[in-house]
Amino acid sequence: MRKNLRAFFEQTFSCAPLFVARAPGRIEFVGNHTDYNGGQVLGAAINRHVWVALAPRRDGRRRLVSAAGGDVVTLPNGGEKKQRGEKSWANYPLGVLVALRAFGRRVPAGFDLAVMSDLPAGAGLSSSAALEVASALVFLAAVGEWDVPPEAVAEIARHAENNFVGVPCGLLDQAVSCLGRRGRLVLVDCAGPRFSTVPLPAGARFWIFNTHAKHALVEGLYAARHRECRSAARALGGPLLAAVTPAILAANRDKLSLLLFRRASHVVGEVARVNATITALQVGNLATAGKWLSASHRSSKRLFENSTTELDFLAARLARTPHVFGARLTGGGFGGAVLALASPKFSAAQARAVVAAYGNKFGTAPDVLRLRAAGGAALVRD
Ligand code: ADP
Ligand code: MG
């Protein structure tokens, strides 16, 4: 990938990049929509990355290109003019520049920047955060900031997504991309935020089934859930739902509409499931951890209503397949991918059988990715 990116950069800009960074995508292991509710969430960085290469320019011009397609986006006089239509992908790196300044950091005035990736976009594997984080690392390197703590890079990247791109995501995606550790899950406690890692038992394997089916209104739906959670928390007397215990929720049921009660039940339940999953992993019990993952999916389906028919089919089918411990939608939902936590005995032939069954029902085939828990984002030396 590094060589291909270099060649693509040179072909586009007729010069060599000076700084290259790569940032991993992530899976949300368990803890669905808990992050912006101030709760805990377990994720893992994965061995699929967005790569960003940059060369500073003296004339203040900014040019951005992606190997995923589209023309070069040019800002002749610098600045961070918000892009629309097929150029809107450039808002992720441009948003990072705005965020860096908001955090009191310097940014390079002019630059050429190229992106290349083996991480599917829009699959719930957080290519947006990976693009932000890798961009932040090359921008910081270009002003001589080589060792900004990963926690700070995560905050900057999230600021870009929240305030410039306009997606009210929590800290999970960026934190896991920055803090991933090989063979480990990252636990993000968004109340702090505090970060730690949890070792994955040796017999854990990740399989991702990406449906490519995505609800057309996904951004609006995500924002609507965000609002519903805030309203439920306010009605229960607190700013954030994650602080609500199951007992408080049960005692205050009459303060919530049925809809808000269901949303709150999902978040409160997810917080408990994250803790129960950690306990199971600490004693190496993947079967129990998998049950919590499948329970998380059912809660998404019934209570939070952020699943789809396609995701429900895959999660249910996988959960009853031998050698699969559990399965759930991963990421924001309303489309995207299902994660299966499986044993090493789960085979490619079994995965193909699931794909075939899906094809019979929906007429399309999900992509299958076999992933492992990988390390976090880093500058790459040439
Ligand atoms: P996810 O983060 O789950 O992949 P999002 O909708 O949040 O889904 O982010 C996907 C968006 O990120 C794409 O529509 C595109 O704008 C941007 N993006 C991701 N990967 C790339 C890439 N390789 N090149 C250009 N833009 C990318
Ligand atoms: Mg995203």
With beta carbons less than 8 A apart as the criterion, state whether 319 and 364 touch.
no
C-alpha distances in Å from residue 246, one per residue of 205, 263, 265, 272: 32, 13, 8, 9
Quote the domain boundaries for residue 32: 2-199+375-379
Distance (angstroms) between ligand 1 centre and the Cα of 203 equals: 31
pTM above 0.95, yes or no: no
How far is it, in rounded angstroms, from Cα 32 to Cα 310?
18
Residues 126, 216, single domain; the answer is no
DSSP letters for 98-127: HHHHHTT----SEEEEEEEESS-TTSSS-H
Which residues, in sequence order, are CB contacts of 61 under 8 Å at separation 6+? 74, 75, 76, 77, 78, 110
Q: Which of 335, 337, 328 is nearest to 309 (CA)?
A: 335
Asked whether the CA dihedral 87, 93, 99, 104 is positive or negative, the reply is negative
Beta partners for residue 188, in sequence order: 41, 195
Ligand 1 atom closest to the Cα of residue 124 is 3
Q: How confident is the model at residue 216 (pLDDT cuts 50, 70, 90)?
A: low
Residues 165, 233, single domain; the answer is no
How many structural domains are present in the chain? 2
How far is it, in rounded angstroms, from Cα 171 to Cα 63?
28
With beta carbons less than 8 A apart as the criterion, state whether 256 and 266 touch.
no
Distance (angstroms) between ligand 2 centre and the Cα of 59 equals: 32
Ligand 1 atom closest to the Cα of residue 117 is 23
Q: First vs last Cα of the chain: how many Å apart? A: 12
Residues 92, 224, single domain; the answer is no
Token pair of 50 as six digits: 């967005």
Residues 309, 275, single domain; the answer is yes
Is any ligand 1 atom within 6 A of the Cβ of residue 176?
no
Residues 334, 214, single domain; the answer is yes
Catalytic residue status for 35: no
Distance (angstroms) between ligand 1 centre and the Cα of 224 equals: 21
The mean pLDDT of 226-246, rounded to a whole number, is 95
Residues 78, 178, single domain; the answer is yes
Q: Is the predicted pLDDT of residue 152 greater than 70, yes or no?
A: yes
Distance (angstroms) between ligand 1 centre and the Cα of 290 equals: 29
* CATH value at residue 319: 3.30.70.890
Give the pLDDT confidence of 341-376 residue by residue, as tens digits: 999 999 999 999 999 999 999 999 999 999 999 999
* CATH value at residue 130: 3.30.230.10
Token pair of 184 as six digits: 């480990």
With beta carbons less than 8 A apart as the criterion, state whether 306 and 332 touch.
yes
Is any ligand 1 atom within 6 A of the Cβ of residue 128?
yes
The mean pLDDT of 155-179, rounded to a whole number, is 93
Q: How confident is the model at residue 220 (pLDDT cuts 50, 70, 90)?
A: confident
Please tell me the predicted confidence (pLDDT) of residue 169: 81
How far is it, in rounded angstroms, from Cα 42 to Cα 188?
6
Please tell me the predicted confidence (pLDDT) of residue 382: 66
- The count of other CB atoms within 10 Å of the CB of residue 276 is 16
Residues 214, 309, single domain; the answer is yes
Looking at the chain, the whole-number percentage of residues with pLDDT higher than 70 is 99
Residues 195, 244, single domain; the answer is no
Q: What angle do CA 180, 346, 269 make, to 5 degrees?
A: 55
- 346: helix, strand or coil: coil
Token pair of 321 as six digits: 């397949």
Residues 252, 361, single domain; the answer is yes
Residues 236, 184, single domain; the answer is no
Is any ligand 1 atom within 6 A of the Cβ of residue 117?
yes
Torsion of CA 182, 103, 52, 340, to 10 degrees: 40
Which residues, in sequence order, are CB contacts of 83 under 8 Å at separation 6+? 73, 89, 90, 91, 94
Which residues, in sequence order, are CB contacts of 349 under 8 Å at separation 6+? none
Identify the residue whose C-alpha is closest to ligand 1 atom 12.
Answer: 128
Give the pLDDT confidence of 50-109 residue by residue, as tens digits: 999 999 999 999 999 999 999 999 999 989 999 999 999 999 999 999 999 999 999 999
Residues 179, 261, single domain; the answer is no
What ligand is nearest to the CA atom of residue 218? 1
Please tell me the predicted confidence (pLDDT) of residue 86: 94
Residues 101, 141, single domain; the answer is yes
